[in-house]
Chains A and B, each alone.
Chain A
Amino acid sequence: MAIEEVLSSKGRVRILRILSNIGELNISEIARRAGLNYTTTNEHLIALERSGLILHKKFGRIRIFRFNESNPRAEMVRKLVDLWEQTK
């Protein structure tokens, strides 16, 4: 996935910001915090996961998403979001 596809979507950037702040969250809570509906959130999460930036763990029916710490791109994006937040 090209970088513009990740960073040009408000929804995806919001999700990345939330995961960067909170660490890990389930989909409903991400949707609530991002102000998006469930389906849209799910689509963004699938796209972000495909790009390797985030990953999920499944516990029963619950999916918990977080940044993919083993991916250097994910680390860079996370740092970018953190820096952006800190220097507001």
Chain B
Amino acid sequence: MRQHFSVFKDESKLDINYVPSRLPHRDTQLNLLNQFFRSVIETPGKTAQRALITGNIGTGKTVLSQHFGLQVIKEARDKSVNLYYVHVNCRECKGSLFMILHQVISKFHPNFPRRGYSATEILQMLIQVLDAKNVFVILALDELDALIRNEGSDPLYNLSRIQEGRLNAPQRLSLICILRETGYLDSLDPSTRSTLQRNIIRLEEYSKSQLRDILNDRVDMAFRPSAVPSSVVDFVAELASSEGGDARYAIELLWRAGKHADILQLPAISPENVRTAAASVYPTVRKDEVLSLGVHEKLFLLGVARYFKQIGSAYVSVGAAEEAYAVVCEEYGRKRLRHTQLWKYMKDLAASGIIETKPSGTGQRGQTFMISLPKVPAEDLERELVKFLSVLRR
């Protein structure tokens, strides 16, 4: 039997959820976070801290927070402080405070009921749980824009005010808010905004040489020796730097290039592998983004992608998109959702930038919205979605 050769040593080191032990070029920001949350470890319960991390896609917001989380838990354990770091992605929780808080409570009570109480009640319950267990929590709210978009400024207001009513009781909940665009802060009420803006960490885009350092770290961990020539690392860094210094894009590109090299049974990645990979990774619509969508959002998107593939026009009306979605639902044996729910999903997809919508204007009978796929070819999107949806067919 022919032995299968792979350029990879450990693919998991290129995974989106992997938190490396070293964060190149983010030392200052990590120190800043440590400074902000010093009091949480040194005088637990005396104060609760809030910090805001902002920056473009792939500037290391999530990894910075998670890395800090690992560090701070270790430090707290050494000092016998019962501190937990809980990282929640608001987009994956559909921007619902209830789901976010439920995820936090589930860390302590895995079978905590999902129904029968409101978001305000669950916030009170969370504090009761923390009191009962005598623990302190640093809650990182990743992609906070999803929460603000969905529920406005109330959740953050409630989160930051819940402890103010507890005079002389320990302050148990600290917050790290992670946000791509600070513009969302304008929709918060002034007092919440000012408390968040007090401790702000802005992450600048990575330069080409910084990206090279990051990639070199990952290459050492994930690939066999000499499987990735330095010219390839340079090339990937160059491409990612032209995409706005996006490290996540760079790492995914490297992973895909490795996959292409494996398919061709090459001993090392070539620039051609990188070019092929670059054609299949779209910096604006990524695997994790598509993966985190719900089943019907994926089915709707697949309907839209197929429509564009067949018709070849730039826009599709909401009505036609819903028809295309209905066909896809039939194919996958799912009951189609009605207009109102689909409309909500469509808004979410538009907000995340996967699709774009605009009012129909003149030339179209009646009033409707027109959907377009601005950043990714319909065929590629279809291929990705079919791959993700294949589990439904089993």
* A interface residues (Cβ-Cβ under 8 A, vs B): 22-26, 28-29, 57, 59-62, 64
Contact = CB atoms under 8 A, between A and B. Distances in A.
Contacts of B109: 24, 64
Contacts of A64: 109, 112
A77 B11 CA distance: 47
Given A60-B121, A62-B112, 16 more contacts: A22-B111, A23-B110, A23-B111, A24-B111, A25-B111, A26-B111, A28-B113, A29-B111, A29-B113, A59-B125, A59-B129, A61-B116, A61-B117, A62-B113, A62-B117, A64-B112
Nearest to B113: A26
Contacts of A22: 111
Counting chain B CB atoms within 10 Å of each CB, the highest count among A29, A59, A60 belongs to A59
Nearest first, the 3 A-B pairs at minimum CB distance are A59-B125, A60-B125, A26-B113
Contacts of B110: 23
B128 interface: yes
Nearest to A66: B109
Contact of B121 (A26, A57, A61): A61
Interface in B81-121: 109-113, 116-117, 121
Nearest to B132: A57
Interface of B: 109-113, 116-117, 121-122, 124-125, 128-129, 132
Nearest to A26: B113
Contact of A60 (B111, B124, B132): B124
A61 B124 CA distance: 11
Contacts of B125: 59-60, 62
Nearest to B126: A59
Nearest to A63: B113
19 contacts: A22-B111, A23-B110, A23-B111, A24-B111, A25-B111, A26-B111, A26-B112, A26-B113, A28-B113, A59-B128, A59-B129, A59-B132, A60-B121, A60-B122, A60-B128, A61-B116, A61-B117, A62-B113, A62-B125
Nearest to A28: B113
A2 B124 CA distance: 39
A87 B292 CA distance: 42
A24 B105 CA distance: 13
A61 B117 CA distance: 8
Contacts of A61: 116-117, 121
Contacts of B112: 26, 62, 64
Contacts of A60: 117, 121-122, 124-125, 128
B127 to A, nearest CB: 9
A30 to B, nearest CB: 10
A40 B90 CA distance: 39
A24 B122 CA distance: 18
A24 B128 CA distance: 17
Contacts of B111: 22-26, 29
Contacts of A29: 111, 113
B87 to A, nearest CB: 23
A25 B110 CA distance: 9
Nearest to B120: A60
